[in-house]
Every structure is written in structure tokens, then in C-alpha cells.
Structure 1
């Protein structure tokens, strides 16, 4: 099952896509949009646990404006549904892209794991976040503790998920001085109750694990910078597909006529990318246009500012999060 949703604006049309992930999916979606004379001006794509979600901003190729014709929108929806192998179409209000992607993946139940999901191809076993949930009966709270590798937007991802699961955070402790982050939340359901059953506790743990893992991009990081043109994204993803690479995450932006795109890619088999494959792709796309940035774990943060401080700043300045319920620090 998957879905396609549209939200027109003055400048562009937002397309939301969810479905089962498979090698070459992004390439197929981009090829359809190019065939329909739609230009992708920005996009963010996440994959996790065999699910995929994308939020894409597109314009008419000829006018550079939003797609407004209802019949044309219906035709685009139908073709994209065929690509996603879906039979459901749902329209959503467009909101903060990252928040929306979390909601879409949550709705697609990417937190559900099969017995073999702990092993990822030939890369071996994944290191999951350490999440626990216990009830503090004296205070009628449930206490959620999370230990994981620290990274930008970690707090955003966990608090968004708790909110979307209809929990209110009353107190919180956050410690991210070293490479590992420690988060502690005292929560209740919106009806005022703590976690009521072991099944609910397991669901909270699984959903928080998924929320943290979605943004962790495994694979080789490639950055593309070149003059933007219609069909560029379709061409690049087609070259990836033809070289047996699958895109695990993508960020596509256009600024001042320049395409600034980041891709995380892996072999379709799940193995690391062979250096010869990357050399062949760069020969086709251009050595100076497509650059290898290494694995995400090896990359340095762009800012020396504390990730936790950055996260708190972004969190409390956003109007979307006034109902998170972070009242005061617990000590």
C-alpha cells in the first residue's frame, strides 16, 4: 500500500508519496514527473525498514508555476500510484517537511520489524538505540529513557514522535556532552494516563527506535552541484539505477538556478558501494559535478555549536511545537 497527496501553493505543488521501498523507486518517480513535464525544485526522501516516504515540490515545466489544473493533477496522481503499486490516494495539508515525513513513515508503520530486520544485507547487524519505558506509579508518569549516538535534530525526531503518538511531555532531561546522547522524558497520554500495558510499552519503544533510525543515512554520501535544468534529477537517479545503486535518502534543493543535491546510496544488494562503480558514475555525470563525501559516520558537523543547543533553539522557536508540553526541566 502507498499513497499520493497534493497541496498546491502560489509557487509550487507539494507531492507527498509513501509506499514500499525497492531499488530504483526514486528513479521511476522522477522519470514519470519528467515525462509529465513537471520540474522538481526541491525534495526530501527517506527510507526505513522497507518503507519509503517523500515530500517533493514541483512546478510546471513551461511556466515554472504551481500545477492548478484538476484534471492534470488527477492524471499525475494516477501514474504515480501505478509506480508506487498503490491503490489509495490521500491528500494532506503541507506542513514542516521533516515533521510530515515522520508522520508519513509512522502511518506506513515502518516501526514494525520482521525477524530478520536486525541484519542489513552484508553490512551486518545494525546498532539500535537503547530505549526503555517504565512506569513511575507514585507520580502517574511513564519514564522514557533513550541512549543513542548524538546527531543534529535528534531531539526534534524523538519529541515529534511522542507528540504524534498523543503523549504529553511534562519533564525532560537531556545530556549530549559527548558522542552519546541521553534523553529522559516523563510522559502521560493525552487522556492523563501513563503507559497502560506491555503492548503499549513495546509500541512506544519501537516507534522511538524508528524515529531515531529514519534520519541515520547508511551508505555513501554523494553531493551534486550543477546548473539546474528540467529532468536533471531523473537523469542522475537513472544513472544510479543503471549502475545497481539504490538511494536510501535524498535532499534536493534549487537555489539561484543551481541544483544542490545530496544522495546517500548503496548497492541494491545492501552492500557498500564499490569504488569502481562510483568512478564510472562520476565519469558520466562529471568529476567536478558529483563529489564523494564519504560515509555519514565519517563526516564532521558543519557547525561547532552544540547539536543539543541547536535542537532546542529550533524546537522552541517553531510555532508547530507549542503543544509539546515541555513545561520545565526535571531535576
Structure 2
């Protein structure tokens, strides 16, 4: 992956920095003259769909592309990214989580409209992903509701206590997203007034909610543990929720926990890919892989080259591009290839029931009382229906006892539809004949130069940020 760092010019620290003037409307004008061309190709490859994008280049456009594919619950198995001057060409190999090509016309149309500048202002319609999630303009809550954001030490029952406080303050949770990483937790909850169903805008009430939530979080914090709690009223242009979670984790400096990953050598990528292919997509081959990151300077081009090897997982490319974009780096060229199954994230619970005050508090309380920990959660309301997905482990991050899940189902019970699923690895096992030795060897040789993009760790990049080359003026 070849990177360059963007430079911000202007008045900083009381000193003047001079540079050429660029009209702020220039980039949007170029996009309207040369709008992105999006091609969804189902003919070239037998086992995946190719999404090809040609577009005028701008900072953040790669993140926009990957964000659209990620929020549709699509898996990117390979990607080729290249930009030359003011133009870029990207190719993504994608399937859904069941390993199927993209055949639904509404899904293809959504991708095309989301990636193309709409001159008429009409955006894409609503679409349902393979995991049952609704995506579309009506389900973007960031700019319409009151947002509660927090980072704190991860512990069992944190989400349960927060939702209980929100309920006690005559509010209800419209949607919530929770991430955990290295004993730290980040949460974004969109809340509304219980009596009116509208966003809360009164400054005094917002401050009261913030104080009450902060008190609950503080009550269980250690003497040196950090926390951050803020409540914001609705405003347009709020950052995409999952990208905002990345920013919260970065500001919380979750990457400081644990040692940096060991360096990755170029030949390790080919060796890792070939070994996984020989093992026939065995989960153990992926789960045992450790993360390796290395950063090298390409002085002749003014680039820095980042090599990453890691076990794969959902939205890995999105996470990596988020990291680089927020650190003000541009990806000029990249080759991404994943082999083997995705890392498991815990037992998955899908919930669907009639919405009512205190529902989230009750469900998370049952999980807490049964000794379960959340690794990730996404919940939302659709009219009078509440839906949610919870990834759970035991208190030590291990598997969940089936008898404990029986108790959870019994306690939640009632009119609640609770589906318990093993979170399967990806790609799914396909029934096909083994290729001939000659064809298998040729396939392995083709895979040799391709890079397997893994989890780009903040610690490694920040400690070596001085190695990155700057854009030459």
C-alpha cells in the first residue's frame, strides 16, 4: 500500500504559512463535470461480483466507496486501488456474507447511486442487506436525533446501566452502536424524548442527561481510568456513525494497550496466502495468524509503503481506510487480498420485538445477569418494532455455554423473537471438485505477489509516523 500525507496550510500557532489558493468549490465542480462511473460486473468472475469505480480523485473518496460497501454487509475479498494525478480507478471483489454474488437489482442500483454525485439531489432508496438490516436515507439517524457518545473502560453491564439511566430520564433509545477493543468501549446512542418521540434540543436537559450518564460511568471507574461522555443535539453533516466510532477509539487511545505488532516482510504475505490455500480454508490457520505491520519509505516516489498481514474479519478494509484517512494519509496504490475464514466475533443474537420503554435496558440486564459480555451491538427501531444484533462471549471472552443461552431465551421470552446463531466464518465451504495439481500450482503462483491487508494498528503507525513521506510542493 503506497501512501502520502496531506498537508494543511493556513494560520496555525500564530504563524503564517503561504501557499497557492484553491477555490473550495473546485473539487465539487470537477466531480460534476466528470462524475464517478460505477460498473457492477457479474460476468467476469464465477464466485464474486466486481465493483469497478472510475472517478476524479479527492481526499476521502476511497473511504466513501468502502463505507458504502461495508454498510451493505458486503465482504471485500480483494481490492485493487490506483490513482494517477487527479483520477483514480478502483476494483473491489465482493460477495454477501453468505458467499453469494450480488444479484438483487435494488442492491446494485443502491451501490451505483450511492457512489455517483446526484445532480438532482435524489439519493438512493431503501434496501435490505443479506443480514436483514435496512439501509437508506430513512435509516441515517446521525443528523436527526440527539446523540450520546462515550468512551470508558469495558466491563460487563455497561450498556445495561447506560440504557437504564436513559429510560429513567424519560427518554428512549432509537438506535445504539457499541464497540469494544483492548478493554476499552466506545458507544454512540441516538435518543429521543419518550412523550414526543422527537430529538431533545433543550440545552439544560442535554446537560442533565450528560451528567447522569457520566455519574454512572464514573461510579465504576478506577482511580486512573479515563472516560469521556458527551451529549449533542441534532445537527446536519454529522460524521457517519461507524467512522465516528473509529474517531472515538482513536481519541481514547485504545491502541496504547499492548505491544506493537512485529514487522511484516514482503515474502511473508505470499507464504501466508499459500499456506492458507494449502490448508483448505481451515479456521485454525487464520485464527493462529498474528498481526504484522511494517512501514518502508520509497524516497524516489515520495511514498511510504505499508505492509500488513493479519487474520481477516468483517469490515477490515473499512477500518484500515478509516484509520489512514483520519490520520491525513492518502492511499495512492494498494493491493488487497484475503484468504481463509474471517475471525469469529462471538455468538450472535438477533432480536425482534414490539418496541417499548426500557426494552434495551431489560435485554442487556438479562445478558449481564447471565454472565455474558458484549463485544459488539447494533440496535434500532423501525416504527413500533425494535430489532437488534448482539455479539456475546462469556466474561472471559470465550465461548458461551448452551445451557446459559437457554436461560437467556427463557428470561427474555414473552413476545420477543430471539434467534441464536453461531457466527460463521467466511467464505462458506463450497462443494466443488479439487483442481488439478497443475491448476492448483498455477493458482498459488498467481497469488504469490498479492498483499493480504489486515488490521492496521494505530500504535505501529503513530510510533513510526516520522517514516512517512510528505507531499512535495
More divergent stretch after superposition (91-100 vs 25-34): 91-100
Does structure 2 retain, via aligned residues, the 8 Å contact 1:10–1:65?
no
Task: Map 1:39-188 onto structure 2 (within 5 A).
Answer: 39-85=172-218, 89-90=229-230, 94-114=238-258, 127-176=289-338, 178-179=339-340
Please give the TM-score of this superposition, normalised by the length of structure 2. Answer: 0.49
Task: Map 1:251-266 onto structure 2 (within 5 A).
Answer: 251-266=378-393
Q: 1:280 corresponds to which residue?
A: 407
Query: What is the Cα deviation at residue 142 of structure 1?
Result: 1.2
Structure (1 or 2) with the larger CA radius of gyration = 2
Query: What whole-Å deviation, never above 9, does each CA across 1:35-85 have from its counterpart, x for those lacking one?
Result: 111111111100000111111111101110011221111111001111222
The count of residues paired between Structure 1 and Structure 2 equals 252
Q: 1:233 corresponds to which residue?
A: 360
Does structure 2 retain, via aligned residues, the 8 Å contact 1:147–1:180?
no
Q: 1:206 corresponds to which residue?
A: none
Query: What is the Cα deviation at residue 179 of structure 1?
Result: 3.1
Query: What whole-Å deviation, never above 9, does each CA across 1:106-148 have from its counterpart, x for those lacking one?
Result: 1111111236x9xxxxxxx975433221222332321012233
Structure 2 stretches of 5 or more lacking a match? Answer: 1-140, 219-225, 262-286, 430-473
More divergent stretch after superposition (216-225 vs 94-103): 216-225
Does structure 2 retain, via aligned residues, the 8 Å contact 1:134–1:142?
yes
1:294 aligns with 2:426: no
More divergent stretch after superposition (256-265 vs 58-67): 256-265
Query: What is the Cα deviation at residue 162 of structure 1?
Result: 0.7
Task: Identify if the C-alpha distance between structure 1 residues 268 and 145 changes in structure 2 by more than 3 Å, giving closer, same or farther.
Answer: same
Task: Identify if the C-alpha distance between structure 1 residues 9 and 81 changes in structure 2 by more than 3 Å, giving closer, same or farther.
Answer: same
Does structure 2 retain, via aligned residues, the 8 Å contact 1:9–1:66?
no
Q: 1:218 corresponds to which residue?
A: 345
Query: 2:228 and 2:180 mapped to 1: Cα distance?
Result: 20
1:271 aligns with 2:398: yes
Query: What is the Cα deviation at residue 260 of structure 1?
Result: 1.2
Query: What is the Cα deviation at residue 231 of structure 1?
Result: 0.8
Query: What is the Cα deviation at residue 88 of structure 1?
Result: 5.2
Query: What whole-Å deviation, never above 9, does each CA across 1:7-33 have from its counterpart, x for those lacking one?
Result: x98842111111111111111111111
Does structure 1 retain, via aligned residues, the 8 Å contact 2:313–2:344?
no
Query: What is the Cα deviation at residue 96 of structure 1?
Result: 0.1
Query: 1:153 and 1:40 mapped to 2: Cα distance?
Result: 25
Query: What is the Cα deviation at residue 224 of structure 1?
Result: 0.6
User: How large is the RMSD of aligned CA atoms in angstroms?
Assistant: 2.9
Query: 1:276 and 1:290 mapped to 2: Cα distance?
Result: 15
Does structure 1 retain, via aligned residues, the 8 Å contact 2:151–2:229?
no
Structure 1 stretches of 5 or more lacking a match? Answer: 1-7, 118-124, 182-215, 302-331
Query: 2:344 and 2:417 mapped to 1: Cα distance?
Result: 21
Query: 1:88 and 1:264 mapped to 2: Cα distance?
Result: 24
Query: 1:71 and 1:99 mapped to 2: Cα distance?
Result: 28
- Per the alignment, in what secondary structure is the counterpart of residue 297 of structure 1? coil
Query: What whole-Å deviation, never above 9, does each CA across 1:219-252 have from its counterpart, x for those lacking one?
Result: 2111111111111100000111111111111000
Does structure 1 retain, via aligned residues, the 8 Å contact 2:349–2:421?
yes
Query: 1:269 and 1:89 mapped to 2: Cα distance?
Result: 26
Query: 1:180 and 1:143 mapped to 2: Cα distance?
Result: 26
Query: What is the Cα deviation at residue 270 of structure 1?
Result: 2.8
